[in-house]
Structure 1
Amino acid sequence: MAIASNGPQGHLNGKVGNLVFYMLNGQPVVRLIGRKGKPSKLQLANYQEMAVTTKLLSGMGSFIKLGYGLQAKGTVHNAHNLATSYHKKQALTGEYPNIRIDYSKVKLSQGVMPETADLKIEKVAGGLEITWDPTHTYELKHNDSVMVMICCPETGKDKEYLNIARRSEGKCFIPLYEDVLNQQIEPYISFISADGESVSDSVYLGNLNGLGKTETEKREEEKYRLVKTRFDQLESNYLAQLKENYGLRADTKAFKCLEKEYKVLKNQLDHLPGKPG
């Protein structure tokens, strides 16, 4: 049952049939409930787009809060809503079921502060060094904070650095373990004023170490590994029995079953994707 707390012309609060009425950030909202039918291809694509976007932003909560907070101020939206909307619409590539992130289009902050000149990133011993032009102007303050986001798609262990340096320093160093330093890295940098009232658009500093394996490639490699492990076990047994029988096939049910599985797995390995190298 729904309640019209503000009279018959007011917004309902509660359930009427398969509709639910409620308030969200001060706005009246209604949504449909009930059992869903079989999803269409467009719906499946939408689900994957949302899943890929959510996974991208899952380790960036604090960065997104600062990067989109000013846009969200005074609206019914929050920073995460705005970031999700942007990336779902602008930062995806590919078609279902192979939708993925285009890291060159990722924007982790959006604002009016001008872009900083001469942004560069370099792998050095023990980590990454990022440099920029430290010149300050009326719009670019010497005490602006530097925010850096290091995305690690292969492991999902992204790293946020929300106040790693000041603009006046002209550089910062990010320590990383060797295994992290040598995997796919997608780095971003933003600048935010000391009072938090102005932020720049984030800048993509470029891919490091090339592209890692996709989820599909990882699944294919794992499937190949499992089949190869089973095949190696059977092959050893199969060849041993042939050797014991002087190269002749034993006329037994057990041997015939062994040989059949051996040949099936051998054929699978010849055609399965995910083979090393």
Structure 2
Amino acid sequence: MAIIKSPLGKFKGRIGNTVFYDRNGENLVRKKPAPRPLRTEAQKRHAAEFGTIADIRGVANELIQVGFPGGGGLPKGGNGFMKANATGVATAVRKEPGKPLSRRKRATDEFACTVDYTKLRVAGGPLAVPKAKASLNAETGEVVFECEGTRLESVDCFLDDRIIGVVMVCGGYWCLWEEIGTRGEGGRLETDFQLPSPGEKVAAYVFALSADGSSASDSVCVLPPTVWEKGE
């Protein structure tokens, strides 16, 4: 850290690894350390897996803001999503196992990732997981959700909880969500979502969301990745 004086006035902001800021009326400058290169296989593997989950987070961000309102030991929003899916969801494997790793290459250049969509969590919180199922209409490509109603309430289960259905294209990182009904009444939802073309994989999830949106349940996969082969 150093104090700088300039006839042009005070500087604030960052240029490269150099940061300018003001403290107690003095203009200070410090240099941030350069990022360390990923050296080990474990570091690169983790970076590739983290990056894959971050890609899903980027596309499903609006859903994640709804599904992770905070609670149940999880932070709010994207941080909650990343924590919930930190392990066991993405798996990185070497593209060329017999070739030495290069410090100059990015993790994604040397590792390929697969995602277990049955373990992916698109919501998290302390509410009870709803009872629901989903199926894929072979003719239209629509996903049909059905949710059972209940008459009993408890500390983590309320009749006015909303039940949310989520459809995600595997590998395409595209999703939509709609309300199926309430926990008390149950409901049935035929999505108006149709896959871009036959051969795409789709997975579906459900979770509960409190009436005011302040609390959620963990999500559960109700339709494992399924290929849509359009009916004749």
Shorter chain as normaliser: what TM range?
0.5 to 0.7
Q: Is the 8 A contact 1:191 1:199 kept in 2?
A: yes
Paired residues for 1:104-115 under 5 Å: 104-115=118-129
Q: Is the 8 A contact 1:146 1:190 kept in 2?
A: yes
Q: Whose Rg is larger?
A: 1
* More strand as a share of residues: 2
Q: What is aligned with 2:151?
A: 136
User: Whole-Å Cα distance in 2 between the matches of residues 93 and 164 of structure 1?
Assistant: 32
Q: What is aligned with 2:101?
A: none
Q: What is aligned with 2:173?
A: 156
User: Whole-Å Cα distance in 2 between the matches of residues 133 and 90 of structure 1?
Assistant: 29
Amino acid corresponding to residue 188 of structure 1 in structure 2: Y
Q: What is aligned with 2:106?
A: none
Structure 1 residues 63 and 99, CA, compared in 2 at 3 Å: closer, same or farther? same
For residue 136 of structure 2, the aligned residue among 123, 148, 163 is 123
User: Whole-Å Cα distance in 2 between the matches of residues 21 and 170 of structure 1?
Assistant: 57
Does residue 176 (structure 1) correspond to residue 193 (structure 2)? The answer is yes
For residue 81 of structure 1, the aligned residue among 79, 101, 104 is 79
Q: What is aligned with 1:196?
A: 213
Q: Is the 8 A contact 2:180 2:188 kept in 1?
A: no
Amino acid corresponding to residue 137 of structure 1 in structure 2: L
Q: What is aligned with 2:63?
A: 63
Instruction: Give SS of 2:118's match.
Output: helix
CA deviations 1:57-86 (Å, max 9, x no partner) are 22221221222222299x9x5421121122
Normalising by structure 2, report the TM-score.
0.66
CA root-mean-square deviation:
3.5
For residue 95 of structure 1, the aligned residue among 93, 113, 116 is 93
Amino acid corresponding to residue 203 of structure 1 in structure 2: V
Structure 1 residues 35 and 69, CA, compared in 2 at 3 Å: closer, same or farther? closer
Q: Give, in angstroms, the shift of residue 99 of structure 1.
A: 2.7
Unmatched tracts of structure 1, length 5 or more: 4-13, 23-30, 212-277
User: Whole-Å Cα distance in 2 between the matches of residues 171 and 43 of structure 1?
Assistant: 45
Q: Hey, which bits of structure 1, 4+ residues long, moved more than 6 A? A: 18-22
Compare relative contact order (CA 8 Å, sep 6+) and give the higher one, 1 or 2.
2
Instruction: Give SS of 1:207's match.
Output: strand
Q: What is aligned with 1:46?
A: 46
Unmatched tracts of structure 2, length 5 or more: 4-12, 22-30, 95-110
Q: Give, in angstroms, the shift of residue 150 of structure 1.
A: 1.3
Instruction: Give SS of 2:71's match.
Output: helix
Paired residues for 1:9-28 under 5 Å: none
Amino acid corresponding to residue 123 of structure 1 in structure 2: L
Q: Is the 8 A contact 1:60 1:160 kept in 2?
A: no
Instruction: Give SS of 1:44's match.
Output: helix
Q: Is the 8 A contact 1:20 1:33 kept in 2?
A: no
